[in-house]
Amino acid sequence: MIRNIFVFLHRWVGLLMAVFLVIVGLTGSLLAFHHELDHVFAPQFYATPRPGVPPLDLATLMERAPPIPHARIIGAQWNGIDQAEINYQPEKNPETGKPYDLGFTQFYINPWTGAEVGRRTIGDYSKSSNFMRFIYKLHVALLVSGPGTLILGIVAVLWTLDCFNGFYLTLPVSLSGFWRKWKTAWVIKRGAGAYRLNLDLHRASGLWLWPILFIFAWSSVMFNLRPLYDWTMSRFMQHSSIIEEAMKLKDLPQRTAKATPSLGPRAALEAAQRLAAERAKTLGHAEPEPLMFAYMDKMGVYIYAARSSAPRDGFLEERPSLVTIDGDTGAPADVPLLRLAEKQELVDRWLVALHVAGVFGLQYKIFVCVLGLVITMLSATGVYIWWKKRKARRFRKKQGVSAPPLEATPGE
């Protein structure tokens, strides 16, 4: 009786999740090679690499960027070795009180010359150059921020719970000959018919890949339902909630906003780089590599992010080093809210890295790409098994034959 309840839950929860898991599986498969595929669909936004020629520094790129009407330059960042981006902040239209529409949201330049290579508007999916942005938005929010994120969060919770339910349903009903019976759940029978092949693919794939499927399901909860994730993790280990930490900081004195800093971008960047280099030397690390530099007018500070140049060896890379300096004096500025990024738990960092294929190099990227297809296959085979059993039950009912007890197989 209890087992039949779990079969019922697995069946209908699986059907409820099927469409969503197909979407996130296929899009996730593509996102494993996001950067490489963006080169294919938007090659105009990338410069031709110049081996042996150092790129311009961020301050020079900001100085060479063209002026845009009703906007000011607030920063620059690297998006890989062959792409740099200038960040423009639109001014407010005095008539409407809203920011001017600049006609773009991303402005790319050649890292070696500072010349413009292209502009892109996030959310404009009518152009092929935004294909990978479309895939990303579909993957993380079903193209609708807010409701889409919540829906995927709920699906992630159901997926996580169903991981345990599906595993339980592969276990033999009786303990007699347990290992001999369970062994069949781990293999795909050769020469089997369509139904048995789908059942074996569904069951065996789920068993062999169970740990990584659980990791992807639970990390999806972390991305989409962070309060639930933090609450659950705190019940099993010492785990701090980023959201709770952020709420505590709201009562602290805030820095005064300032639209224009006294310190220019070049002088500010040099001051931030010196501070970052001193911190790295203290820790025994090499001088960090620049990632991003920007002025935050709401706090009156420059923020500089750099990446450690230490080799990764396929494991987690060092957290980006964040340096904030006063926009007028260049002195170190304490911004508690920004320090939250440095408090991320090790288990959270691993979940993120495993989910986005940020560790173990090309081999793991290929694995994640294939895993996305496997997730799609698990959903498809589950629906097929349900359809076949439903068809069989209707046939028996039509013939007036009493239906046998439900089989305890996953994906029913």
pLDDT confidence band for 309 (50 / 70 / 90): low
Same domain, 37 and 159: yes
Which of residues 299, 323, 344 is at a domain's end? 344
Q: Quote the number of domains for the chain.
A: 2
Q: Please check whether residue 68 lies inside any domain of the structure.
A: no
DSSP tag of 186: G
Which of residues 344, 362, 382 is at a domain's end? 344
Percent helix, strand, coil in the chain, to 5, is 55, 10, 35
Per the model's pLDDT, the better-predicted residue between 88 and 334 turns out to be: 88
Q: Which of 205, 156, 161 is nearest to 381 (CA)?
A: 205
User: Given a cut of 50, is residue 326 above it in pLDDT?
Assistant: yes
pTM of the complete model: 0.90
Distances (CA, A) of 90 to 97, 235, 256, 268, 301: 12, 45, 20, 22, 18
Q: pLDDT averaged over the chain? A: 90
Q: Please check whether residue 56 lies inside any domain of the structure.
A: no
Q: Please check whether residue 200 lies inside any domain of the structure.
A: yes
User: Given a cut of 90, is residue 335 above it in pLDDT?
Assistant: no
Rounded average pLDDT over 38-43? 96
Q: Please check whether residue 365 lies inside any domain of the structure.
A: yes
Q: Please check whether residue 59 lies inside any domain of the structure.
A: no
Q: Which domain holds residue 267?
A: 245-344
Same domain, 275 and 197: no
Same domain, 302 and 235: no
Q: Please check whether residue 103 lies inside any domain of the structure.
A: no
Take residue 71 and report the two structure tokens written for it: 């906007």
Q: What is the pLDDT of residues 233-248, one digit of tens each?
A: 999 998 888 888 777 7
Please give the backbone phi and psi of residue 399, each rounded to the nearest 5 degrees, phi first. Answer: -85, -5
Same domain, 259 and 332: yes
pLDDT confidence band for 178 (50 / 70 / 90): very high
**Residue whose entry in the numeric block shows the structure tokens 């990584």:** 212
Hey, is 335 helix, strand or coil?
coil
